[in-house]
Amino acid sequence: MRAFKTESKKLLDLMINSIYTNKEIFLRELISNASDAVDKLNFKSLSDASMELADGDLAIRISVDEGVRTLTVSDNGIGMNADELERNLGTIAHSGSEEFKSENAESQGSEVDIIGQFGVGFYSAFMVAKHVRVVSRAFGSEEANAWDSDGLEGYTIEPAERAGHGTDVILTLRDDESAESGEAGEDYGRYLTEWTIKDLVRRYSNYVRYPIQMMVTKSRQKPKPEDAGDDYTPEWEDYKELETLNSMTPIWKKRAADVSQEDYDEFYKSSFHDFEAPLRTASFHAEGALEYDALLFIPGRAPFDLYSKDYEKGLALYSSNVLIMEKCADLLPDYYNFVRGVVDSQDVSLNISRETLQQNRQLRAIARRVEKKVTSELEDMRDNDREAYETFFDNFGRGLKYGIYSSYGMKADELADLLLFWSAREQKMVTLAEYAAAMPEGQQAIYYAAGDSRERLAKMPVVTGALSRGYDVLLLTADVDEFTFQAMREYVARDMPKVYEDDAARAAAEQAVADGAEPELEDRRIEFKNVAAGDVDLATDEEKEDAQRATKDNEALCDAMCASLDGKVEKVAVSARLTDAPACITTEGPLSLEMEKVLARGPEAASDDLPKSRRVLELNAKHPVFEKLVAAQEAGDTDKIGLYAGLLYDQALLVEGMLPEDPVAFAARVCELM
């Protein structure tokens, strides 16, 4: 027996017990090695005209013998002689495939797709096998040799018999382990079952370019005997048939013109376990310094766990048609976590186990291109298939908004134009660009109201007041909406009509257009304003003067009402924004009532340090209720002023969708008035 060197024994132990986290990938590694061996022979036939080799002759075969617990992976590839067995299997981390790639780097083309890199994948067999025997016969040789090892002390190489060129890797599986001390046992015998082998091949090696074949058991009905009577019961029999387990040609490497949308839909449904067809499909191929294929899908519905902590984003990553990671999270930003698909590249730098990736510029470059492609597809859907886009946004728009918020507005340039909000005036979903384009001359901000219901928001006094003055209001009903606007701070509206500093400049521009010139356009920065904020000024100069005068004339009344509310509001003032309602609550500062409600539902709700909005009770001086307040003040009836102040404040809270702080006291006030 030839002993492994001491260092090699330590390295082999690492191969078996530490590098790979998932035992079942051993079959992927052995199939990849077999594919490389077949590829090498195929390449040799391309450069040697004397070799007669048909593609149909090349295959990988899997067979099992449950009686002796062996699993065999065979190929009819290039094979190895005794020296090559010594060099490739006796020397850990020596990769014959990598050596082949280096020697033939200039002459390889698309006909050769070598997978191996590190020379350690073979040793993953010892994770499930207690003994491995490799029988190999080099192409053109009449002799075969066998490499035997238990993966512990060493290995032997001796002459053997094999009918033709190629390699057999024969694994004698470990004994099954029973559960101990509450830990699950290990069922190594499952790797001898047809179902398990089929599942592993289709999951990891479905797109290896050569057929992976296995004799499988099937059932068929026996022919009906000629003398059988009418009461004959059909009989069935099992039989064996050679079946190809893999599909070989990946759909993402076919030309888009050769694949129908039905084919893409079927691949999506079967691969990602969705019963609905995707809303959008994008397939592209990149060449140059980094070559890869990508097939992306935008789902038609959101998975039930999309916003749970257990949801895993990511694209399936393949290298040379072999699955490396089922979900590579680094290929997608969080706000595009709903995208599903495949990326296949032989250029990405894998780590030694091929289970995870090295963080490198190739991966980042692919991720940037994927992100741009997804953005482009969403923009095209938004502009040319609005109904489908609104369906998409209903499912996944929350993630786009959160992408802006979580990046503190840094992603606003990429995502802002993908957002949709409900327009109170248009009664439909609009983009920020569409809102800006419809703004009347002189409007300086994008106005919005935040709450839990469009219907309630549309009836709020501050909203109806803005609409009556000709300003549209976006109605925000998602809890992240207002936080998103706070993070964005402003929206850059492109190609807006130029705003001129004075009448002379405007007149000159209008004359230029009349003479045939193109209208001047500009990019305009427009801030976001909550219509319930205290600093929103939509009234005319006359309305503002009237409100200021009424506040000054009734200063004592306002102070008395503020005092009776005992710190619930910062102040009480006459409003210039109200039209029909007797009163409303506005806020000063960055925290609105709706943001306060959202925070109150969060994990810090019980904290005493939860921030509160700075509230202002605004009164409508033109409403009959105001006359009652003035009369109570003139009569010196402080009790009635306190009663009215509390009632108006609680009523305004209800309009905002918030419960009075003391519902019993509110009910008592109503009963007292009755």
What pLDDT is stored for residue 105 in this prediction?
Answer: 45
What is the average pLDDT value for the chain, to the nearest integer? 85
**Residue 180: is its pLDDT beyond 90?**
no
For residue 475, the number of C-alpha atoms closer than 13 Å in the C-beta half-sphere is: 23
The whole-angstrom distance between residue 61's C-alpha and the CA centroid of its chain comes to 37
Q: Please tell me the distance from the alpha carbon of residue 172 to that of residue 223, in angstroms, as a whole number.
A: 39
Q: Give the Å distances, CA to CA, from 329 to 24, 259, 343, 357.
A: 22, 27, 12, 10
What pLDDT is stored for residue 504 in this prediction?
Answer: 79
What pLDDT is stored for residue 368 in this prediction?
Answer: 93
The domain 420-530: what is its CATH number? 3.40.50.11260
Q: Please tell me the distance from the alpha carbon of residue 226 to that of residue 392, in angstroms, as a whole number.
A: 62
Q: Please tell me the distance from the alpha carbon of residue 224 to that of residue 661, in angstroms, as a whole number.
A: 83
What pLDDT is stored for residue 155 in this prediction?
Answer: 87
The two tokens of residue 468 are 């009556």
What pLDDT is stored for residue 100 in this prediction?
Answer: 39
In the chain, domain spans: 2-216, 251-386, 420-530, 541-673
The position carrying tokens 């039930």 is: 304
What pLDDT is stored for residue 248 in this prediction?
Answer: 85
What pLDDT is stored for residue 18 in this prediction?
Answer: 59
The residue with greater pLDDT, 9 or 41, is 41
The domain 2-216: what is its CATH number? 3.30.565.10
**Residue 441: is its pLDDT beyond 50?**
yes
What pLDDT is stored for residue 117 in this prediction?
Answer: 42
Average pLDDT over residues 160-174: 94
What pLDDT is stored for residue 605 in this prediction?
Answer: 55
What pLDDT is stored for residue 505 in this prediction?
Answer: 78
Average pLDDT over residues 472-495: 93
What is the edge-to-edge ordering of all strands in the sheet holding 583-588? Answer: 571-574, 614-619, 583-588
pLDDT tens for 286-313 read 887 788 999 999 999 998 888 888 889 9
The two tokens of residue 584 are 């409303």
Average pLDDT over residues 615-620: 91
Q: Inter-axis angle of helices 194-204 and 26-47, to 10 degrees?
A: 60
Q: Please tell me the distance from the alpha carbon of residue 550 to that of residue 573, in angstroms, as a whole number.
A: 9
CATH topology identical between 251-386 and 541-673: no
The residue with greater pLDDT, 670 or 343, is 343
pLDDT tens for 96-152 read 444 434 444 444 444 444 444 435 678 889 889 999 999 999 998 999 999 999 887
The two tokens of residue 291 are 């070559």
What pLDDT is stored for residue 658 in this prediction?
Answer: 82
Average pLDDT over residues 192-211: 92
**Residue 600: is its pLDDT beyond 70?**
yes
Kind and range of the H or E run holding 61:
strand 60-65
Contact 303, 311 (CB under 8 A): yes
What pLDDT is stored for residue 178 in this prediction?
Answer: 84
**Residue 74: is its pLDDT beyond 60?**
yes
Number of Cβ atoms within 10 Å of the Cβ of 471: 21
Find residue 145's DSSP bridge partners. 136, 159
Question: With helix as H, strand as E and coil as C, how does 411-465 read?
Answer: CHHHHHHHCCEEECCCCEEECHHHHHHCCCCCCCEEEEEECCCHHHHHHCHHHHH
The residue with greater pLDDT, 232 or 377, is 377
Q: Please tell me the distance from the alpha carbon of residue 63 to that of residue 74, in angstroms, as a whole number.
A: 8
Kind and range of the H or E run holding 618:
strand 614-619
**Residue 347: is its pLDDT beyond 60?**
yes
What pLDDT is stored for residue 107 in this prediction?
Answer: 47
Give which of 446, 538, 445, 441 is closest to 499, Cα–Cα. Answer: 441
What pLDDT is stored for residue 544 in this prediction?
Answer: 83
Number of Cβ atoms within 10 Å of the Cβ of 82: 18
What pLDDT is stored for residue 116 in this prediction?
Answer: 40
Band of pLDDT at residue 358, cut at 50, 70 and 90: low
541-673 topology per CATH: Four Helix Bundle (Hemerythrin (Met), subunit A) (1.20.120)
Supply the pTM of this predicted model: 0.76
Band of pLDDT at residue 369, cut at 50, 70 and 90: very high
Number of Cβ atoms within 10 Å of the Cβ of 2: 12
Helical spans, DSSP H, in 71-193: 82-89, 96-103
251-386 topology per CATH: Ribosomal Protein S5; domain 2 (3.30.230)
